């Protein structure tokens, strides 16, 4: 399968409360990554890891998923040609991957992560 979903993210106003909620609800491990953000580790070979934290710049909370693609810029250009829009230009996460975000034609937020 090409371009698999490889990460999920839940962000909102209270990172600590969200992390506690998901930890208790699903027995996920929370591993602090950066201030106000933790990696959510379901601990199952059939699931994917994710992140739970505070929304950037106090923005609205959201749930999104990240799709692995080989070329962020090429994928964003294709998405724009199909009626989507760029939300976040490609950036390198400190000690992590390169990511970008887009909105589909109905405004749903989706992440991209540079991968194989």
17 pLDDT band, cuts 50/70/90, is very high
- The predicted pLDDT at position 43 comes to 84
Query: Hey, where are the domains in the chain?
Result: 5-114
Q: Under CATH, to which class is 5-114 assigned?
A: alpha beta
CA distances from 6 to 31, 35, 51, 58, 98 (A): 17, 22, 11, 25, 13
- The predicted pLDDT at position 51 comes to 94
Q: What is the pLDDT of residues 58-107, one digit of tens each?
A: 778 888 899 999 999 999 999 999 999 999 999 998 888 999 999 998 88
Q: Angle 24-27-32 (CA atoms, 0-180°, nearest 5)?
A: 85
Helix, strand or coil, per DSSP, at residue 116 = coil
- The predicted pLDDT at position 26 comes to 86
The whole-angstrom separation of Cα 104 and Cα 116 is 23
Residue by residue, DSSP assigns 46-91 as TS--EEEEEPGGG---EEEEEEEES-HHHHHHHHHHTT-EEEEEEE
54 pLDDT band, cuts 50/70/90, is very high
pTM of the model: 0.79
Helix, strand or coil, per DSSP, at residue 50 = strand
Both structure tokens of 35? 């201030």
CA distances from 67 to 25, 40, 74, 98, 107 (A): 25, 17, 14, 12, 17
1 pLDDT band, cuts 50/70/90, is low
8 A C-beta contact, residue 23 and residue 10:
no
């Amino acid at each position: 399968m090409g371009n698999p979903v490889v990460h999920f993210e839940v962000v909102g106003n209270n990172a600590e409360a969200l992390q506690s909620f998901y930890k208790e609800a699903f027995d996920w491990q929370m591993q602090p990554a950066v201030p106000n953000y933790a990696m959510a580790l379901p601990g199952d070979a059939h699931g994917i890891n994710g992140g739970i934290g505070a929304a950037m710049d106090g923005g609205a909370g959201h749930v999104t998923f990240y799709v692995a693609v080989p070329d962020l810029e090429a994928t964003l250009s294709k998405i724009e040609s199909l009626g989507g829009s760029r939300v976040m230009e490609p950036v390198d996460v400190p000690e992590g991957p390169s990511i970008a975000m887009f909105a589909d034609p109905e405004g749903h937020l989706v992440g991209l992560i540079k991968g194989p």
